């Protein structure tokens, strides 16, 4: 197996760190992302110790801030001459009260959609330098269970609900991956892009969010029945490393198998509207490259 350079967002804990450890055990060079420098250094040491692999690196930045995402990409491109795998793992559910980032974007959309969209755009050139670049993005079954998008109000300024916002975001992640896969195929690119549902995983994900009394109680009751981070990471690890998915693109995976996505809101027009919204929202951080 060829050794890869792999970058994983949100990998200082939970499923991201479990993914990093497993890929490090395969002797790949693994670069993790975190928001806090101290926590990132601690995670690097843990991954090195657990895997016996010294080739573990990190970059820090706030994925709620588009300027930080640009800096992350610049650091990676300065240090590595190519990138084999980008794993867009970071994500989250927000509070019941709608909030915006410093850039003015609704937080659920910013973290789950705009951050991986911009990061992918900034790193696509480095992925094309790989023998077979792969983009792996964590979505969720919430795209079929909770999504109720308003394509005239993508940032939910009128009727905000945290679970709907999260479901919408995970639907958009799938659509953006499918559209990117089609565009890359047109130019016979060596880069593939796929999405996955990891299952309900027992991590700190969503634990700091106030979703209202019902969701807060339900999430606490459900925790004993959730997957471990190691179990949840299996499909991401598979898509990042398995030779049998080489050349496979535009798919959605559950338990390491291709699965159907919800067609409820699908149309080429709706997909294009989401793409254009993300493209225009992040454009100035790409143009300034």
Q: Which residues participate in catalysis according to the annotation?
A: 166
Residue 192 and residue 135 in contact, taking contact as beta carbons nearer than 8 Å: yes
DSSP 245: G
State the Cα–Cα distance between residues 28 and 134, nearest whole angstrom: 14
Residue reference for tokens 């670069």: 31
Contacts of 43 (CB under 8 A, 6+ apart): 11, 12, 13, 17, 20, 32, 34, 58
Summarize the chain as % helix, strand, coil (round to 5). 50, 15, 40
**Tokens of residue 79, six digits:** 């240090």
CA 271 to chain centre: 18
State the Cα–Cα distance between residues 8 and 196, nearest whole angstrom: 15
User: Which residues share a beta bridge with 124?
Assistant: none
- How far separated are the first and last CA of the chain, in Å rounded? 34
Side-by-side strand order, sheet with 56-60: 56-60, 29-34, 5-8, 85-88, 134-138, 192-197, 252-254, 257-258
Gyration radius (Cα) of the chain, Å: 18
């Amino acid at each position: 197996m060829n050794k890869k350079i792999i970058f994983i967002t949100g990998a200082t804990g939970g499923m991201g760190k479990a993914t990093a450890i497993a890929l490090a055990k395969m002797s790949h060079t693994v670069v993790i992302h975190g928001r806090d420098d101290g926590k990132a250094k601690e995670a690097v040491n843990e991954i090195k110790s657990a895997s016996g692999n010294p080739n573990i690196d990190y970059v820090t930045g706030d994925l709620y801030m588009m300027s930080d995402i640009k800096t992350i990409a610049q650091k990676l491109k300065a240090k590595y001459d190519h990138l084999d795998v980008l794993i867009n793992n970071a994500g989250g559910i927000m509070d019941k009260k709608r909030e915006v980032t410093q850039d003015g974007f609704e937080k659920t959309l910013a973290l789950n959609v705009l951050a991986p969209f911009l990061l992918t755009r900034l790193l696509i050139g480095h992925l094309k330098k790989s023998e077979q670049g792969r983009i792996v993005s964590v979505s969720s079954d919430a795209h079929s269970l909770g999504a109720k998008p308003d394509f005239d109000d993508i940032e939910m300024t009128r009727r905000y609900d945290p679970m709907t916002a999260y479901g919408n975001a995970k639907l958009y992640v799938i659509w953006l991956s499918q559209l990117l896969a089609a565009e890359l195929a047109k130019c016979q690119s060596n880069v593939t892009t796929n999405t996955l549902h990891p299952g309900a995983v027992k991590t700190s994900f969503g634990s700091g969010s106030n979703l209202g009394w019902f969701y807060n109680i339900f999430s606490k009751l459900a925790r004993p029945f959730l997957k471990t981070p190691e179990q949840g990471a299996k499909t991401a690890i598979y898509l990042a490393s398995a030779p049998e998915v080489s050349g496979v693109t535009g798919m959605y995976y559950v338990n390491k198998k291709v699965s159907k996505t919800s067609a409820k809101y699908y149309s080429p027009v709706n997909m294009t509207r989401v793409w254009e919204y993300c493209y225009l929202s992040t454009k100035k951080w790409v143009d300034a490259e």
